[in-house]
Amino acid sequence: MSINNHQPLTKKGIKTRNKLLETAEKIFGEKGYFETSIVDITQMAGVAQGTFYKYFPSKKDIYDELVLQLSRDLRAYIKRRIEEQTTFEGAQRQGFSAFFEWVKEHRNLYSIIQQAVLVDPELYKWYYEKLASGFVTSINAAKEKGECKSFDAETIAFGLMGIGQFLGMRWIIWENSDIPEEVFEDAMEFAFRGLSPGKEE
């Protein structure tokens, strides 16, 4: 995984760079990394090919930066949405809702991240470990406050991520729809109270 250190950009430079990244998100998501060329990106973005190299030395560099940006933007969006929640369960419920909202606006996220298995396995691993780290922090804090059982935080983090990942795939990607309310509630009930039916009164 390569991470670029960019020189400060002008407002026009920032706009051009963002346009290239937005275009890369679309074309990598729809066409695939290996089938996409720099010419494809520059033509769709309406940018000269020479201009591309002012911001990204190669196709791999723009792909890396795109994954890093998607990760940052997703995590920032979720953080903003949960910051007013005062309980662990409330924050997680809001976080799941925020994830589904964000994915609806960035449907190519799934395709782009899954391509990293072949493009750059370390980048693929980094993406999920970075996402998991936020869960681990909140789970450990909840354990200290008695809001969560003393399970291994990383195990629970990846389990919760799996719920979001596959529900998003099932409904937003495959069905092009919102997560049905009853599906969301069943998932939350499972996440926070498990499969046991409990004691009958």
Is pLDDT at 196 greater than 90 in this prediction?
A: no
- pLDDT category at 95 given cuts 50, 70, 90 is very high
Same domain, 128 and 178: yes
Same domain, 124 and 135: yes
Same domain, 52 and 68: no
Is 2 within the bounds of a domain? no
Q: What is the pLDDT of residue 8?
A: 74
Rg (CA), the chain: 19
Q: What is the pLDDT of residue 7?
A: 61
Q: What is the pLDDT of residue 199?
A: 56
Is 199 within the bounds of a domain? no
Is pLDDT at 2 greater than 90 in this prediction?
A: no
Is pLDDT at 96 greater than 80 in this prediction?
A: yes
Rounded CA-CA distance 163/183 in Å is 11
Domain count, the chain: 2
Q: Which domain holds residue 188?
A: 59-193
The two structure tokens encoding residue 177: 């729809």
Rounded CA-CA distance 158/17 in Å is 33
Dihedral of CA atoms 11, 12, 17, 19 in degrees, nearest 10, equals 110
Closest CA to 3 of 51, 63, 52: 63
Over residues 81-106, the mean pLDDT reads: 96
Closest CA to 18 of 58, 59, 62, 48: 62
Q: What is the pLDDT of residue 6?
A: 53
Is pLDDT at 201 greater than 60 in this prediction?
A: no
Over residues 140-154, the mean pLDDT reads: 95
Is 42 within the bounds of a domain? yes
Over residues 44-72, the mean pLDDT reads: 96
Same domain, 72 and 149: yes
Rounded CA-CA distance 22/136 in Å is 30
Q: What is the CATH number of the domain that holds 126?
A: 1.10.357.10
Is 3 within the bounds of a domain? no
Percent of the chain at pLDDT > 90 equals 90
The two structure tokens encoding residue 160: 């919760």
Lowest mean pLDDT among 132-146, 169-183, 187-201: 187-201
Same domain, 122 and 152: yes
Question: 81 to each of 98, 127, 165, 169, 181, how far by Cα in Å?
Answer: 7, 20, 18, 21, 19
Which residue do the tokens 């069905």 mark?
Answer: 175
CB contact at 8 A, 123 and 64: yes
Is 150 within the bounds of a domain? yes
Same domain, 87 and 150: yes
Q: What is the pLDDT of residue 1?
A: 54
Same domain, 42 and 105: no
Is pLDDT at 106 greater than 70 in this prediction?
A: yes
Same domain, 85 and 180: yes
